[in-house]
Structure 1
């Protein structure tokens, strides 16, 4: 069965190309989001948005900032887990944390995070002896952790509150609940599959041994904590009235985030916002837009600026160290050559 699917996938890629399909899907999502945003924001009162921003309590902003910080701290364990999975547990946590934080902060904002985040990871890990293939494996395992967490959160959340997903996809709640249960059953099947015996995917020198059952549960837990922190940050910034439960907001938030990733637009710009505005129609538009703008500042722009500062400072330090090493080598070479130039004169 697996071989048939692989052959069919390769044939489709040769004739049509998965990259073309991905481009068309991204374009369709972006165009649809642009139309929705135009309709939702047409006639919006900018002064009311500014007033809503000023009205958000500092307590809520500080709590949201704390949840964002906790979320990015959890992101560092994506890389720690991935490094241990590929047999590179010798890489210290500080390096994994640097790579994890900066790659996600840059990837979230620039877009096409698989490539931009991968480039940042390679720049950091290559100095610690990781090859390009090993870095690609780290990116794969970290990304798989993210998707396992998403599938679990959406499965549990939609099974509990299917109407939250219906607010986005306009599908009847019973259909969404059925899909959620199927997703959870698939996750349980996968956990059972990797629990029984070591599972290896890939071929040649690109083989990855998937985490076993207990480690897969840890992998899922990391993803759940990350998404819960992000959803909690968003929950602190949406209006308090009318009351909407955390699970409902979390399901809508995760679904909107995934739509943003599917668009490959920087930070899901426009797509994420349109999905949130459509799904959370009960809120005052100006107040919700104020919360979305503040979330973008806290979750995207501030970490992006910090990551660029860290990466820039690191590159300057590395350049300075190489420069000093080159100067020391040149002085040592000059010192070793001086006696040889003096020998003829001494004779």
Structure 2
């Protein structure tokens, strides 16, 4: 392991991981822009508007319920993280505030690791958490997110490798192998944290990873979140031709991760391009109509609610400080 750490340090000093991340983000955005132009340059806005009207109110309402369930699940990311770092004194309503607002803002503004972290710090610092503790919350919550993604995509790549191939253009056998590898790595991680307490980090920044049973709970939380979001999208795609839920879920999660990697606000352009490429079975106007409604339900409405909630909270805290002459 020492040689691996040395190689990583050498690479970071000579090239820099931040440069690699920047180039990756730019590449994803450029490719997405090219794809969107190819897919949308001859789209008629009137047909998209007509397709929006054809989506039933019942489907939109069910999708909205799944979106709400997904955001409710996100609150447990933060609650779990707070309990993991030993801050069980922070009540659920504060954890839910931190989780909902940080993800709503992070999803829309982009660079969610920073924007979401800033929102969390504003919420949790009022309860005595310092910057290091907030960073730990962000890390554990992010770990929950990735454990859920690895599980869902691993299973999805095995069951429907063709759905992944529609995006990454790799052979189906290769994508199935990626799925098997992902689940094998996940199983190895679970066994590793189950065998003994594991601590990562150094100096003042050390995090004890959740043990085996708690890691399974993490995976469950992540899976429920992704399934709720995927079901919301599934309710909004066209009814014909019929495409099964697992295919839509694999495409949706993969497209979401590409948008996340691009750091563009809400994965704008990248997510949409991936969906349009992979779900080629649908009429473009009809699929685009579903994507527009999904963006309203999953991005814009929660973002507006989060801003309103944070604004009211700041107003109430300001009034409380003025009345009490300071304090929390």
Query: Over residues 212-235 of structure 1, what are the superposed CA-to-partner deviations in whole Å (9 max), with x where a residue is unaligned?
Result: 111100000000000000000000
Secondary structure of the residue aligned to 1:195 is: helix
Aligned ranges for residues 228-247 of structure 1 at < 5 Å?
228-247=227-246
Secondary structure of the residue aligned to 1:259 is: helix
Structure 2 length-normalised TM: 0.98
Which runs of 5 or more residues in structure 2 are unaligned? none
The CA distance in 1 between the partners of 2:30 and 2:290, in whole Å, is: 24
Secondary structure of the residue aligned to 1:223 is: helix
How much does 1:6 deviate?
2.1
Query: Over residues 15-53 of structure 1, what are the superposed CA-to-partner deviations in whole Å (9 max), with x where a residue is unaligned?
Result: 111111111100000000000000000110110100000
Name the residue aligned to 1:205: 204
Which runs of 5 or more residues in structure 1 are unaligned? 328-347
Aligned ranges for residues 215-294 of structure 1 at < 5 Å?
215-294=214-293
Which is higher, the Rg of structure 1 or of structure 2?
1
The CA distance in 2 between the partners of 1:287 and 1:239, in whole Å, is: 6
Name the residue aligned to 1:187: 186
For the pair 1:131 / 2:130, whether they are aligned, the reply is yes
Secondary structure of the residue aligned to 1:202 is: strand
The CA distance in 1 between the partners of 2:112 and 2:178, in whole Å, is: 27
Secondary structure of the residue aligned to 2:325 is: helix
The CA distance in 1 between the partners of 2:89 and 2:109, in whole Å, is: 30
The CA distance in 2 between the partners of 1:308 and 1:192, in whole Å, is: 41
Name the residue aligned to 1:42: 41
Query: Over residues 106-155 of structure 1, what are the superposed CA-to-partner deviations in whole Å (9 max), with x where a residue is unaligned?
Result: 00000000000000000010010111000000000000100010000000
Secondary structure of the residue aligned to 1:211 is: coil
Name the residue aligned to 1:177: 176
Secondary structure of the residue aligned to 2:3 is: helix
The CA distance in 1 between the partners of 2:323 and 2:86, in whole Å, is: 34
Structure 1 length-normalised TM: 0.93
The CA distance in 2 between the partners of 1:56 and 1:23, in whole Å, is: 38
For the pair 1:105 / 2:104, whether they are aligned, the reply is yes
Query: Over residues 202-258 of structure 1, what are the superposed CA-to-partner deviations in whole Å (9 max), with x where a residue is unaligned?
Result: 011111111111110000000000000000000000000000000000000000000
The CA distance in 2 between the partners of 1:31 and 1:266, in whole Å, is: 15
How much does 1:13 deviate?
1.3
The CA distance in 1 between the partners of 2:12 and 2:232, in whole Å, is: 40
Matched pairs, number: 326
How much does 1:323 deviate?
1.7
Secondary structure of the residue aligned to 2:243 is: coil
For the pair 1:325 / 2:327, whether they are aligned, the reply is no
For the pair 1:25 / 2:24, whether they are aligned, the reply is yes
The CA distance in 2 between the partners of 1:17 and 1:268, in whole Å, is: 24
Name the residue aligned to 2:299: 300
Name the residue aligned to 2:90: 91
Query: Over residues 61-89 of structure 1, what are the superposed CA-to-partner deviations in whole Å (9 max), with x where a residue is unaligned?
Result: 00000000000000000001101111111
Query: Over residues 264-306 of structure 1, what are the superposed CA-to-partner deviations in whole Å (9 max), with x where a residue is unaligned?
Result: 0000000000000000011000000000000000000000000
How much does 1:7 deviate?
2.1
The CA distance in 1 between the partners of 2:93 and 2:240, in whole Å, is: 42
Secondary structure of the residue aligned to 1:244 is: coil
